[in-house]
Every structure is written in C-alpha cells, then in structure tokens.
A and B are shown apart, each in its own frame.
Chain A
Amino acid sequence: MPAIEIRNFSKNYGDIQAVKSINLTIREGELFGLIGPDGAGKTTLMRSICTLLVPDSGSILVDDMDVTNHVAEIRSILGYMPQRFSLYQDLSAEQNLQFFADIFSVPLEEREKRLKELYHFSRLEPFKKRTAGALSGGMKQKLALSCALIHTPNILVLDEPTFGVDPVSRQEFWEILHSIKKEGKTIFVSTAYMDEADQCDRVALMSSGKIVNCDTPDKLKESFKFLLYKLEGDNLRRINEFFKSLPNILNTQLFGDSIHVNFKQNPSEDEWEHWKKETNQVLTNWQRITPSIEDIFLNVEEKTE
C-alpha cells in the first residue's frame, strides 16, 4: 500500500488552476522530493495532502484513507511542517513542544520519552528554555520539525524546511531526515535547494500546476538529452555573454564558479580553440559533464515557457 496516492487531483482558487489533474504515488518509507518554480502549486498540493484543502476533483489517499472524509485519522498519522512559521515565538522551545503534544493528545507517560528522543536528534536540549523567537534560523527549523514529529507520525510532509538556513545547519537537517527515514517513515519534502533534491529517493518536478517529470535523481539525469558542458575561466559574466550569442547553443547558465552550456551539436576541438581565442583567452577550461538536478530544473523550465 502506498503512503500517499494522488489520482487526477485538481485544485482551483477562483479562476486560477493551482493544481491540474496530477497523479503521483509516494511509497511507504520513501524520501520523496518536490521541486518547481515559485507558484507551481507545490504548497497547494502539500496542504491538500495534509487535509487542509479539499480537492476540487480527483482524490488523495493517505495510508489508504481519503483526505475528504478521514481528516482526524489522517492528521493523527501525519506530521506537517508548513513553509514559514509554525512556532509560537514567545513560548520557549520546550513550551512549543508541550503545546503540540497537547494538541495531538500525546499521553503524559509517553511524552518524557518522546521529548528525550527529539532533543537527542535535534540537539536542542541546552536551548529548551530559550524562546523560539530567540533561536537561530537553523534551530527554529529543527524545533519546527520536532513539533511535527511529537505525535510519532508515520508520514511527514515538509514544505521548504530549510528556507533561510545556512549550509552547515542545512547539512545537519538533512542528516536528521535520513535518520528519520531509516526508522521507516515516509517523507514528502519540497525544497528550493537542488542539492537536497539530489539526496531524495525520487523527485517530482512541478510546473504550472502539473508534474512534468518524476523519477529517481539518477534516472532524471540519464534522461537529460542535451549536450552539457562546464566552462571555466577568468571572467564568467563575459564568457556567458559570448556563448549566449552563439547559434549552436540552447542556453547558458551561471553555476557559481563555472558556466553550464547546452549545445545543440557537439562542438569540435577546433571550435573550442577558436572560442578561446575569441574570448581573449579568458575561457580556460571546458569539459562535457553529466547534469545535476539543477540543470534539469533549469531546462524543464525553458520548455514550459
């Protein structure tokens, strides 16, 4: 039985079709990533899974229960971490956890043990008396995750949990997700960081209310049909401008200290040498590379426009 089964699900806001008849199956125990541009419908989909929105058509089953008529049952087995804030800023970390434990009626005798476990993985115990508002960004997100886990749900829905989190805390947060997965829990997580998507068992790419691609990160990369090169040099913006204007090019993207260029046809070594000269030697290195999830994201985008 799948953890989450989405069939022909649509959701509209007035005239706006936020989600357009999508199908998606999340397996039990899967770490499943959802990526897509702002406004693609990701949050609408997540809120619907969490019984917070009612489908206009189609259905969503969570643990084989329909979101329209099993609201209480679903909420008891599901942990949801919303996109922005979910904590009470003027309550302490511990008070926040107790509050969520109250809401989900976690029995008192179980609470101690649960809090201990959550403090253990989040390493928040030394900060439990601090108000949530005074915690750093990374700690806030760990506390919000802990609150979503307080009632020991089997399925977790996390909407951009690493929003505004620094690289070190982000790494730590994902180590926690991997350990939760090992306990057998299903995790459905959206993110704007493509390196995080790469750590998922499967990834769905959503755009304009539709799922445009869904597979394992490796399969997604294999299906990438463009000729991708990584270029390095001394003045990347200039190199980028130069390659953008060439006819044999689909697109170019800046990638930090390099540029990724998609060619229509594989260029010859002579061509490379020629380009090196034309850019006054600022182009220093080029090599064919396999795409990252970010390349896939950027190129799906191109198609839909």
Chain B
Amino acid sequence: MNEAITVKTNQLTRRFGKFVAVDQVSIEVYQKEIFGFLGANGAGKTTMIRMLCGLLKPSDGNGTVAGLDIKTQSEIIKQNIGYMSQKFSLYEDLTISENIEFYGGVYGLSREKIEQKKDELFKQLRLNEYAKKYTRDLPLGIRQRLALGSALLHDPPIIFLDEPTSGVDPKARRGFWDLIYQTAESGKTVFVTTHYMDEAEYCHRISIMQQGKLIALDSPAHLREKYQKKSMQDVFISLVKTEVGGN
C-alpha cells in the first residue's frame, strides 16, 4: 500500500497482574484501510483497542496513532480518533438529533459546526427520516448508524469500531458495511472488530489475536490461500482451535 501509516505498534504489551492481555503485538495500519481485528472472546482485542485510543497505558513496547505517542500523548490522541463500542451508550431518551448535538458539545464543536456536521452526517448515514425520533424507539441497526455518526462528528482520521454489527440483522449489516466503505474511501483508517466471518472478507487486511498474541495478519484472500481453507470462517476456526488445543 502506498498510503501513509496512521497506526503503528512495536511489541505492544499490556499485563494485568500476571495475566498478559496483549503480548508483544506489532502492526502497521494505513490511511484508507479497513483493518479487521478478529479473535475469540477474551483474546485481547478490546485491550489492544483501548491502548490505541489512549484509554489504557501499555506495560511494554510502544506505538503511535496519527503520529502521536500512545504513552505520552494520549490526551491529544483522543481528539484524533473516533470510537464506537458495542456497549457505547447513546442517550435513549434523547432524539437522534439531540444525541448528535450532545456529542458535538462534548467534542467542543461550535453550534454552527455542529449544525453543519449534523446535516452532512444525516445525509451520509441516511438518518434524516429518523432525526426527531427518540433513540430508544429505533431498531438496533439505526442506532448503530447514529453511534457511527457520533464517533465521526469531530472528523477524526482514525476510527475504531468495536463489534458494530453484533446482533444486527443480515440486511442492516450490509447497509452498515456500505457506510464503513464510504468512511474509508473518504480518507479515514477504519479499525473494526467482528464475529461475522463474511464481514471479515470485506476488510482489506485481517489480524487474528489468540491469547494476547497476534497469530495471523494478511489479506483475507492470502489467509485463505495460506491455510488452504474455503472461507474465513474455516480459517478462523482452524487457527483458533489449534491454538487452544496447543495449551
């Protein structure tokens, strides 16, 4: 890839007591790239993402996000990334429009800027018809689009999506991935975790974590070829099962 590197880690490690949640992980991620982050529950994906977002200090190793040091510049990093968690709480008793205004305020955007971004995002995320509805009354798929919008409000160059489509129906999932593509094409780096292996195929590159270690990193096509499997589902199951069995 000829794009600029936006996320880089070198032997990044995080321990909780004796437990090594992330174990010497080195990656490079590029602008405009959709980077898939796979692994079994508890493999260390969320810990890794929290370190990259400046929410958690590494125990060892180092890394940069948008050229900023994750150890010493975590506060500035927060202004340069968007973060959408599966558990991310939108305010259920605010309308879609009010939620955007609220998060715009949190990010310190001016009233004018908020209005302008709101128009832009509603159009891009196809949310106009829901603007005045209460968030609690909307299906999960629409709420996830709103959560994505909130994470994009301050126009960050890098966005982290932690299981954005869990529990979302097949049609809404496809709609959400169209938005992920648009976001990447607009010049942003998209970091995404998912348990849907068809979605793994849509990523430019995939990394698979197992017990804190990076055990695979390549394009979906190369991974299928390397492990002689028909699908990413089979690649994942064979790799993760082998690793567990090896203990």
A residues with a Cβ closer than 8 A to B are 35-39, 83, 136-139, 160, 163-171, 192-194, 237, 253-257, 294, 297-298, 301
Chain B residues with CB under 8 A of A160: 167
Known: A136-B40, A253-B174. A167 touches B169 (CB 8 A): no
State the CA gap A254–B176 with chains docked (Å). Answer: 12
Residue in B42, B86, B140, B220 whose Cβ sees the most chain A Cβ within 10 Å: B42
Identify A257's interface contact among B40, B231, B236, CB under 8 A.
Answer: B231
Chain B residues with CB under 8 A of A139: 41
Known: A38-B140, A38-B141, A192-B167. A164 touches B172 (CB 8 A): no
State the CA gap A193–B169 with chains docked (Å). Answer: 8
State the CA gap A193–B221 with chains docked (Å). Answer: 23
Chain B residues with CB under 8 A of A256: 197-202, 231-232
Q: By the criterion CB–CB under 8 Å, are B237 and A37 in contact?
A: no
Residue in A38, A165, A169, A253 whose Cβ sees the most chain B Cβ within 10 Å: A38
Q: By the criterion CB–CB under 8 Å, are B168 and A192 in contact?
A: yes
B173-210 interface code vs A (CB 8 A; 1 in, 0 out): 01001000100000000000001111111100000000
Q: By the criterion CB–CB under 8 Å, are B41 and A36 in contact?
A: no
Chain A residues with CB under 8 A of B86: 164
Is residue B104 contacting chain A, with contact meaning CB distance below 8 A? no
Q: By the criterion CB–CB under 8 Å, are A294 and B170 in contact?
A: yes
Given A192-B167, A254-B174, list of 14 further CB < 8 A pairs? A37-B141, A38-B172, A137-B42, A138-B42, A166-B39, A166-B40, A166-B195, A168-B237, A254-B202, A256-B198, A256-B232, A257-B201, A257-B224, A294-B170
Identify B236's interface contact among A39, A168, A237, A301, CB under 8 A.
Answer: A168
State the CA gap A192–B194 with chains docked (Å). Answer: 13
Q: By the criterion CB–CB under 8 Å, are B195 and A165 in contact?
A: yes
Is residue B18 contacting chain A, with contact meaning CB distance below 8 A? no
Is residue B51 contacting chain A, with contact meaning CB distance below 8 A? no
Min C-beta distance of B224 to chain A, whole Å: 7
Per CB-CB distance, the 6 closest pairs between chain A and chain B, nearest first, are: A136-B42, A256-B198, A38-B139, A137-B41, A256-B201, A39-B139
B201-245 interface code vs A (CB 8 A; 1 in, 0 out): 110000000000000000011001000000111001100110010
Is residue B163 contacting chain A, with contact meaning CB distance below 8 A? yes
B residues with a Cβ closer than 8 A to A are 39-43, 86, 138-142, 163, 166-172, 174, 177, 181, 195-202, 220-221, 224, 231-233, 236-237, 240-241, 244
The residue in chain B whose Cβ has the minimal distance to the Cβ of A135 is B42
Enumerate 17 A-B pairs (CB-CB under 8 Å) in ascending A order: A37-B141, A38-B139, A38-B168, A38-B172, A137-B42, A138-B42, A164-B167, A165-B41, A167-B240, A192-B167, A192-B170, A193-B196, A254-B198, A256-B231, A257-B201, A257-B221, A294-B170
Q: Is the interface of A mostly helix, strand, loop or mixed?
A: mixed
Q: By the criterion CB–CB under 8 Å, are A163 and B166 in contact?
A: yes
Min C-beta distance of B74 to chain A, whole Å: 25
Q: By the criterion CB–CB under 8 Å, are B171 and A298 in contact?
A: yes
User: What's the count of A-B pairs with C-beta under 8 Å?
Assistant: 94
Residue in B41, B42, B201 whose Cβ sees the most chain A Cβ within 10 Å: B41
Residue in B42, B195, B200, B236 whose Cβ sees the most chain A Cβ within 10 Å: B195
Chain B residues with CB under 8 A of A171: 237
Q: By the criterion CB–CB under 8 Å, are A37 and B197 in contact?
A: no
The residue in chain A whose Cβ has the minimal distance to the Cβ of B165 is A192
State the CA gap A257–B203 with chains docked (Å). Answer: 11
State the CA gap A294–B236 with chains docked (Å). Answer: 21
Q: By the criterion CB–CB under 8 Å, are B141 and A167 in contact?
A: no
State the CA gap A35–B169 with chains docked (Å). Answer: 9
The residue in chain B whose Cβ has the minimal distance to the Cβ of A170 is B195
State the CA gap A176–B140 with chains docked (Å). Answer: 28
The residue in chain B whose Cβ has the minimal distance to the Cβ of A301 is B171
Identify B41's interface contact among A136, A237, A254, A298, CB under 8 A.
Answer: A136
State the CA gap A253–B172 with chains docked (Å). Answer: 12
Min C-beta distance of B201 to chain A, whole Å: 4
Chain A residues with CB under 8 A of B241: 168
Min C-beta distance of A87 to chain B, whole Å: 15
State the CA gap A166–B163 with chains docked (Å). Answer: 11
State the CA gap A138–B86 with chains docked (Å). Answer: 16
Q: By the criterion CB–CB under 8 Å, are A37 and B169 in contact?
A: yes
Min C-beta distance of B238 to chain A, whole Å: 10
Q: By the criterion CB–CB under 8 Å, are A138 and B41 in contact?
A: yes
Q: By the criterion CB–CB under 8 Å, are A297 and B220 in contact?
A: no
Known: A36-B169, A192-B169, A297-B171. A167 touches B233 (CB 8 A): yes
State the CA gap A138–B171 with chains docked (Å). Answer: 25
